Amino acid sequence: MKIEAIEIRRVKMPLVAPFRTSFGTQHEREMLLLRVRTPGADGWGECVAMSDPLYSSEYVDGVEDVLRRFLIPDLLAMGDVTANAVGPRLHKYKGHRMAKAALEMAVMDAELRNQNISFANSLGALRTHVPSGVSVGIMDSLPELLEVVGKYLSDGYARIKLKIEPGWDTAPVRAVREKFGDDILLQVDANTAYTLRDAHHLAKLDAFDLLLIEQPLDEEDMVGHAELARKIRTPICLDESIVSASTAAAAIKLGACEIVNIKPGRVGGYLEARRIHDVCVALGVPVWCGGMLETGLGRAANVALAALPGFTLPGDVSASDRFYIEDVTEPFILENGGLTVPNGPGLGVTPLEDRLKEFTLTAENIGA
């Protein structure tokens, strides 16, 4: 497939409500969208990097720089390009997985649209509908939290995830369990907010029959997670620590986790995400698909990934209106506790031009 040009488009979209985690509060989402232009069909990619290097070392300005100066020129110099060739071609550039993932996604979308194959089919998806969980940020009060959780449960979400941090952990979990009972699927996400010294405190969460505790310790502390796993009963799930299939295998064999959260942007793309899925299936470890406040483009790809057989827990593949009043694509709507997997060519969705124009800050074509 010959790439004629690649567009870098920076967009900013307001959130329905502020989203607070242990590393900060987001009021809007500024991100990069990529469009790969080919003679047959264009492909779209979405970079999940945040504006500031808080979740990971990558951030929007840095991603834009490395794309413009290194990754895109190198890819354009290839001539014929396939999605499978993107990772090996760009491997010499250390890190920058979110930037590489966005490029791979856009190339993959264009390639599949030209071949009239859906993202889901190309990845090996078996389902046409996936259960949807929802991530609930840190709130100012317990009554506010209970009101928000109640709304999501009445909407039909299959699982609730509570963001936690020191000072906001056992009390909100207890309040949700007391209000809504033991039958709801409930898990927590710490985003690296604790240390091993907090093991005794984190063990108090064992009383609430949680599905898992996600990334309690620093992303580099695999040994600490393995030790924590011996001190608490709640299953540990790793997020930030898992950046490849090899790190997933190492974490599992070390005993650092019993569950893996797969975020394609964090691991360098959907092809590596599928490899992580395959490793976890082989080792008998369940996986689920995490979210990064994606637009309809990234959401479409995530839903396709979540339809693979090893994704046995509901992921953070919520409906568009969880975060955005208006999406850049036709909205994903929650039905029967989940989302329908797009079955059209490529991602199966395309941006709406008027929405793109409304949210666009800058747009630049490279290679035209």
Extract the tokens encoding 230: 């011996």
Residue 285 amino acid letter = V
Question: Which residues contact residue 183 at a Cβ distance below 8 angstroms, ignoring those fewer than 6 apart?
Answer: none
The residue among 109, 10, 102 whose CA lies nearest residue 51 is: 10
The residue among 52, 4, 53, 32 whose CA lies nearest residue 103 is: 32
**CB half-sphere exposure, 31, CA atoms < 13 A:** 27
- By annotation, the residues acting in catalysis are 163, 263
| Dihedral pair phi/psi, residue 130, rounded to 5° | -125, 140
**CB half-sphere exposure, 276, CA atoms < 13 A:** 34
Extract the tokens encoding 71: 């990754």
Instruction: Report the alpha-carbon distance of residue 311 to residue 313 in Å, rounded.
Output: 6
Surface-to-core class of residue 167, CB atoms within 10 Å of its CB (0-12 exposed, 13-18 middle, 19+ buried): exposed
